[in-house]
Structure 1
Amino acid sequence: MAPIQPARAFGGGADRNEPRAPRNNVIPFPSSRVLLPVTLDCANAASTRERLAALLHSALGAYVAHTQAVHDGTRVGVRVQLDISPDDLDFAIHTLIATVPEAMVGHVKRRTA
């Protein structure tokens, strides 16, 4: 039978003289996100609300970062900005086409900060 060894106390005790890990060993997480602007253009406010509700209740609702109502006299619309990972871009486009096929997709831009 082996003799019982006392456990070393976590964060204290006689081993304070042991070298610690350097503080510069943290690797920053890359913020490689992109913004995908989407415009929902409709003839009236009721259909705009329906399309926006469909988008928000889909899997893309978690990616919505900003919405803005747009009025140009005869047409009503909503500009939606999706904040997504570049890896999810394919999923986002396919889900957008399946959910709101009338949506117009803008140019993808890299998110700053």
Structure 2
Amino acid sequence: MALTQPLQIFDAVPQRARPISRNNVIPFRAPRVLLPVTLPGRTEAASRELLRTLLYSPLGVYVVRTEIVRGNVLVHFDIAPDDLDCTMHTLIATLPEAIIGQLRRRGASAEVR
């Protein structure tokens, strides 16, 4: 027993749709926060290894700035507040020696040097 299906014929010329005007939609950017983290390293090689570990972890996508100062690696994460819990757990699991700084709103980046 064969099932019959209707044959649909499509035009060779695509139909042009009218552009939809959406003037009532205002795109809001999701609020972001900066999370400074210090990775203490005893030597320059150890600092670079900690940074490499961080950048190749899932947290590497959040890193917006890195700096090596006196053997320590200063890292700034740009994250959404909704991702904060997961980010903290992953950071502690990946690099337990990390020193976590104070959260700042992304607009307050002038305070971050």
1:104 corresponds to: 99
**1:21 offset after TM fit, Å?**
4.3
Give the TM-score taking structure 1 as reference length. Answer: 0.75
Q: Does 1:11 align with 2:18?
A: yes
- What amino acid is the match of 1:69? I
Q: How does 1:1-113 map to 2 (within 5 A)?
A: 9-11=16-18, 21=21, 23=23, 25-71=24-70, 76-112=71-107
Gap regions ≥5 residues in structure 1:
1-7, 13-19
The 3 A distance-change label for structure 1 pair 41 and 27 is same
Match of residue 3 from structure 1? none
Task: For 1:80, give the aligned amino acid.
Answer: V
Sequence identity percentage = 51
Shift of 1:11: 3.0
CA-based RMSD of the aligned residues comes to: 2.2
Deviation at 1:77, TM superposition (A): 1.0
Q: Which amino acid is 2:51 matched to?
A: L
Looking at structure 2, the residues matched to 34 and 50 of structure 1 have their Cα atoms a distance apart, in angstroms, of 26
25-34 or 90-99: bigger deviation: 25-34
- Change over 3 Å in CA distance of 1:60–1:9 after alignment to 2: closer
**What secondary structure does 1:112 align onto?**
helix
Q: How many residues align?
A: 95
What is the TM-score of this pair, normalised by structure 2?
0.75
Alignment-derived partner of residue 111 in structure 2 = none
Q: C-alpha separation between the residues in 2 aligned to 1:104 and 1:29?
A: 32
Within 1, Cα distance between the matches of 2:34 and 2:28? 18
